[in-house]
């Protein structure tokens, strides 16, 4: 196994964090709330070690060296290193990103489970949308790697993981301190200081980041953000642990999606906004910890965290459709305390000539939430639509075993049971209540090979996503007063997949997978409410191909392409296309390093067309972007990096929707139209990075 010596390559990313957490350095992944958190990092020139250890063709790890050489406009775009995953935005930078993967428009995170340093990012029963995943608290320089899994085939993955799960780990220590300062067009400025010290047999790591950015919008975004991290870790001996605190705060103005007709007729500029008072403010503070103990009985891992977050979001997607006088702006409030505990045990035993590797785990999560939906004008409250206090608890129990039956055949089988309790206390008493639901899901993977550094996989499993607690108890629409039906608390998904992974060519690793995924109920974005609602059952079928080629120590090439067909699986005369579901996506990243003082990279991204209504009569266009950077090393401890975003200066759309809205002077019934958020125009940033 070839080992690459890591160096600290620092880029200027738009974020700022304040954090403290406990995490464990370990050769086996630690888990929190069901998502692995790898803390001990071996950076390898190739990934042949995946042959014989991976359970599917769709799982992998993106190394720190690959992450350091990426050019990303916002921190969430680090997740685009996952093959087939698109990350974009339809509003202000402080809002959670939009995610697309495996035929899904995942909205702000539904059906894509995201964790950072062992903490679940998805927020259930969120004020804006189920599974809300805001990654603005991430400091990219501290990310050690990105691990990803796709499909409901893994017993230790719970809620929101039907399409996949992505885990970002943080480093325990830095080779050298980092002082970074960046300036750029569109009002961009960012500063970062990070360093680690040996203290008391362990390491103390700290980081502080400040950022401000206006964006290309006519109404300046005025996005201001701070981030900080404080961490203590020990990774020697049979017992290892870390403890981390994190903090984040941000506020912004938002240019939300705008109607195409308004741009065509000159009512609004392409980079303008209908309601300049849209925007929001958010903060997040967390304390987390992980402990690993290894003995002759196996390895036990304990991971726990608690966090407090608060969001006030002001949006207006329909303009003057409902209220021609005051406009349709509304505010969504979400304040929560979230706590989670995950304990699991790994051990191996011999049964005859068969070696069995076992894992058993229990995951607990509690959310105490205050939600609000208010009618507002220029961020001033006009009326209260609803307010709810939610107490949501869940327990997940799982077991998984891996058996090597023959030299070229092994299986991984598991089962997972989840139990959910919902308690909703609403200002409308008819929408208050209690619900309980549970679900058991089997998992099975068959692995054949390897032959000539090539392995074959078949995967089957069922999973689930939870629905918003308010939907499980509500019987009256608080906006219209119409009776509504309660939704099922838990929605099952069933997946099938076959794939192959090969490392037969030196320096090249490639994988190919064909998949199918059925959901009992689809979650769709509702434009006039700015949220998601449960709807019809659905099916997705497609394939993914991913390659990573490193022919020399100075060149890395990442290439992936995915194609999916998503459709409702029931019969409806309105059509069976799922609005917003992604079809084709392709990415190419080329990085160059270790050739003297120069280094750099380019990333090309293709974001394919999507159907925007059920009969496919309205579609989005595709989007092509090109980002890149070039850096120069001044001695051993100083670098200058120039980054370019949207180098083609495309006027394409970052995201598209089709729904009814009303501009001033239009008919009271409104107009059905395509609404889009423009991709940010070309911009340049210059970053000075010093190591100390």
Q: pLDDT digits over 551-577, tens only?
A: 999 999 999 999 999 999 998 999 999
pLDDT tens figures, 587-632: 999 999 999 999 999 999 999 999 999 999 999 999 999 999 999 9
Closest CA to 586 of 530, 545, 526: 545
DSSP line for 87-153: EE-SS-TTSPPEEEETTEE-TTTTTEEEEETTEE--BTT-SSSTTB---TT--GGGEEEEEEEESS-
**For residue 342, which of 295, 301, 297 has the smallest C-alpha distance?**
301
Say how far apart CA 661 and CA 445 lie, in whole Å: 48
Half-sphere exposure for 138 (CA within 13 Å, toward CB) = 34
d(CA 503, CA 454): 6
- CA dist., res. 1 & res. 642, Å (int): 34
262-264-267-272 Cα dihedral, nearest 10 degrees: 70
Q: Rounded distance, CA 554 to CA 550, Å?
A: 8
Residue 305's alpha-carbon distances to 115, 171, 337, in angstroms, are: 12, 17, 11
53 CB contacts (<8 Å, ≥6 apart)?
A: none
- Other C-beta atoms closer than 10 Å to the C-beta of 491 total 22
β-bridge partners, 191: 181, 210
pLDDT at 395 over 90: yes
Q: What are phi and psi of 79, to 5 degrees?
A: -70, -15
Place 26 in a pLDDT band, splitting at 50, 70 and 90: very low
Q: For residue 458, what are the CA distances in angstroms to 2, 251, 512, 514, 554? A: 30, 46, 12, 10, 35
What is the token pair recorded at 392?
């949501």
| Per-residue model confidence (pLDDT) at position 480 | 84
Residue 348 falls in which region: left (phi positive, over 0), alpha (psi -120 to 50) or beta: beta
The Cα 455–Cα 451 span in angstroms is: 7
| pLDDT at res. 12 | 33
Residue 15's pLDDT is: 30
**How is residue 429 annotated by DSSP?**
G
Helix (H, G, I), strand (E, B) or coil at 361: strand
Angle at 615 between CA 609 and CA 616, to 5 degrees: 15
**Could you give the CA distance from residue 676 to residue 461 in angstroms, rounded to a whole number?**
36
Across the chain, what does the average pLDDT equal? 91
Q: What is the pLDDT of residue 197?
A: 97
pLDDT band at 550 (very low <50, low <70, confident <90, very high): very high
Element (H, E) at 61: strand 60-63
Distance CA(190)–CA(637), nearest Å, equals 19
The confidence band for 531, taking pLDDT boundaries of 50, 70 and 90, is low
pLDDT for 688 equals 98
- DSSP tag of 319: B
What pLDDT is attached to residue 116? 95
Contacts for 312 with CB less than 8 Å, ≥ 6 apart = 280, 281, 282, 331, 332, 333
**Three-state helix/strand/coil letters over 469-497:** HHHHHCCECCCCCCECCCCCCEEEEEEEE
How high is the pLDDT of residue 34? 38
Q: Which of 675, 662, 673 is nearest to 323 (CA)?
A: 662
Residue 526's pLDDT is 56
Which run of H or E residues covers position 65? helix 64-68
d(CA 658, CA 673): 6
How far from chain centre, in Å, is Cα 457? 26
pLDDT tens digits, 173-224? 999 999 999 999 999 999 999 999 999 899 999 999 999 999 999 999 999 9
Q: Are 65 and 130 in contact (CB under 8 A)?
A: no
Higher-confidence residue of 153 and 236: namely 153
- Determine the 3-state secondary structure of 230 from DSSP: strand
Write out pLDDT tens, residues 298-330: 999 999 999 999 999 999 999 999 999 999 999
466-485 pLDDT tens trace? 999 999 999 998 888 889 88
Could you tell me which of 108, 99, 117, 101 has the C-alpha nearest to residue 33?
117
Q: What is the pLDDT of residue 523?
A: 73
Give the global pTM: 0.92
Q: Does 21 score more than 90 pLDDT? A: no
User: Residue 537 is encoded by which pair of tokens?
Assistant: 């059952």
- What does the alpha-carbon distance between residue 339 and residue 352 come to, in Å, rounded to a whole number? 42
DSSP 106: -
Domain spanning 18-691, CATH class: mainly beta
Pairing of strands 164-170, 112-116: parallel
For residues 17 and 78, what is the distance between their CA atoms, to the nearest angstrom? 16
Determine the pLDDT at residue 529. Answer: 57
* Token representation of residue 530: 């700015």
Residue 86: which H helix or E strand, with range?
A: strand 86-88
How far apart, in whole angstroms, are the C-alpha atoms of residue 450 and residue 435?
48
Strand 279-295 and strand 18-22: pairing? parallel
Q: Kindly state the average pLDDT of the residues 653-676.
A: 94
Say if residue 129 is exposed, middle or buried (CB neighbours under 10 Å; 0-12, 13-18, 19+): buried
CA 255 to chain centre: 22
Residue-wise pLDDT for 396-437, tens only, equals: 999 999 999 999 999 999 999 999 999 999 999 999 999 999
Reported as a pLDDT band with limits 50, 70 and 90, residue 667 is confident
- 488-520 residue pLDDT tens: 999 999 999 999 999 999 999 999 999 999 999
SS (H, E, C) 1-37: CCECCCCCCCCCCCCCEEEEEECCCCCCCEEECCEEE
**Residue 379: burial class (beta carbons within 10 Å; 0-12, 13-18, 19+):** middle
Compute how many other C-beta atoms are within 10 angstroms of the C-beta atom of residue 590.
17
Q: Is the pLDDT of residue 661 over 90?
A: yes
Q: What is the DSSP string of 509-532?
A: EEEEEEEEEEESS-EEEETTTTEE
Residue 684 has pLDDT above 70, yes or no: yes
Helices (H) and strands (E) in the chain, counts: 3, 38
- pLDDT category at 527 given cuts 50, 70, 90 is very low
pLDDT tens-digit readout, 129-138: 999 999 999 9
Residues in a beta bridge with 623: 607
Break the chain down into helix, strand, coil percent, rounded to 5: 5, 60, 35
| pLDDT score, position 45 | 34
Cα distances (angstroms) measured from residue 628 to each of 21, 420, 645? 33, 45, 7
pLDDT, residue 49, reads 62
**H-run or E-run covering 66:** helix 64-68
């Amino acid at each position: 196994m070839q080992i690459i010596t890591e160096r600290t390559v620092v880029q200027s990313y738009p974020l700022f964090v304040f954090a403290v957490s406990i995490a464990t350095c370990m050769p086996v992944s630690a888990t929190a709330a069901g998502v692995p958190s790898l803390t001990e990092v071996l950076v390898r020139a190739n990934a042949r070690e995946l042959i014989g250890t991976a359970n599917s063709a769709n799982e992998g790890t993106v190394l720190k060296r690959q992450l350091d050489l990426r050019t990303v406009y916002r921190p969430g775009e680090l997740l685009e290193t996952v093959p087939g995953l698109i990350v974009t935005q339809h509003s202000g930078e402080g809002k959670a990103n939009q995610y697309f993967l495996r035929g899904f428009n995942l909205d702000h995170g539904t059906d894509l489970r995201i964790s950072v340093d062992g903490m679940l990012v998805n927020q259930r029963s969120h004020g804006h949308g189920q599974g809300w995943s805001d990654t603005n608290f991430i400091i990219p320089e501290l990310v050690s790697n990105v691990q990803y899994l796709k499909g409901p085939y893994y017993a230790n993955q719970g809620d929101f993981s039907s399409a996949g799960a992505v885990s970002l780990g943080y480093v325990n220590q830095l080779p050298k301190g980092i002082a970074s300062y960046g300036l750029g067009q569109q009002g961009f400025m960012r500063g970062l200081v990070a360093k680690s010290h040996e203290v008391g047999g362990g390491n103390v790591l700290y980081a502080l980041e400040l950022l401000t950015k206006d964006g290309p919008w006519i109404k300046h975004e005025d996005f201001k953000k701070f981030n900080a991290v404080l961490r203590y870790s020990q990774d020697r001996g049979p017992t290892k642990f870390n403890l981390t605190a994190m903090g984040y705060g941000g506020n912004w103005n938002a240019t939300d999606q705008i109607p195409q007709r308004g741009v065509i007729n000159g009512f609004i500029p392409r980079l303008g906004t209908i309601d300049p008072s849209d925007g929001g403010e958010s903060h997040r503070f967390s304390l987390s910890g992980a402990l690993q103990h290894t003995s002759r009985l196996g390895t036990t891992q304990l991971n726990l965290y608690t966090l407090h977050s608060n969001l006030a979001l002001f949006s207006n997607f329909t303009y003057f459709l409902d209220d021609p006088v005051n406009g349709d702006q509304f505010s969504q409030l979400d304040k929560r305390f979230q706590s989670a505990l995950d304990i699991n045990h790994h051990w191996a035993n011999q049964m005859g000539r068969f070696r069995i590797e076992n894992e058993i785990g229990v995951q607990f999560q509690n959310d105490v939430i205050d939600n609000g939906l208010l009618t507002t004008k220029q961020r001033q409250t006009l009326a209260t639509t609803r307010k709810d206090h939610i107490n949501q608890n869940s327990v997940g129990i799982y077991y998984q075993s891996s058996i090597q039956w023959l030299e070229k055949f092994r299986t991984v089988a598991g089962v997972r049971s989840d139990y959910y309790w919902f308690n909703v206390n609403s200002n409308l008493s008819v929408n208050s209540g209690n619900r309980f639901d549970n679900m058991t899901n089997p998992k099975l993977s068959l692995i054949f090979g390897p032959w000539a550094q090539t392995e074959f996989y078949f995967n089957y499993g069922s999973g689930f996503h939870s629905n918003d607690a308010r939907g499980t108890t509500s019987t009256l629409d608080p906006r219209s007063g119409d009776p509504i039906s309660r939704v099922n608390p838990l929605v099952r998904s069933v997946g099938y997949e076959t794939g192959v992974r090969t490392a037969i060519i030196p320096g090249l690793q490639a994988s190919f997978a064909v998949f199918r995924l059925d959901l009992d109920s689809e979650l769709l974005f509702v434009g006039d409410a700015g949220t998601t609602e449960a709807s019809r059952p659905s099916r997705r079928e497609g394939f993914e191909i991913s390659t990573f080629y490193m022919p020399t120590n100075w060149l890395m090439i990442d290439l992936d392409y995915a194609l999916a067909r998503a459709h409702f699986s029931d019969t409806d005369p309105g059509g069976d296309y799922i609005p917003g579901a992604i079809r084709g996506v392709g990415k190419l990243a080329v990085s160059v390093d270790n050739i003297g003082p120069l280094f750099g990279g380019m990333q090309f991204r293709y974001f394919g067309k999507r159907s925007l209504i059920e009969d496919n009569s309205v579609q989005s266009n595709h989007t092509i972007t090109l980002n890149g950077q070039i850096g120069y090393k001044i001695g051993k401890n100083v670098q200058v990096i120039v980054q370019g975003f949207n180098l083609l200066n495309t006027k394409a759309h970052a995201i598209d929707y089709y729904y009814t809205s009303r501009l001033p002077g239009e008919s009271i019934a409104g107009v059905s139209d395509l609404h889009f958020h423009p991709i940010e125009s070309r911009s340049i940033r210059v970053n000075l990075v010093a190591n100390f």
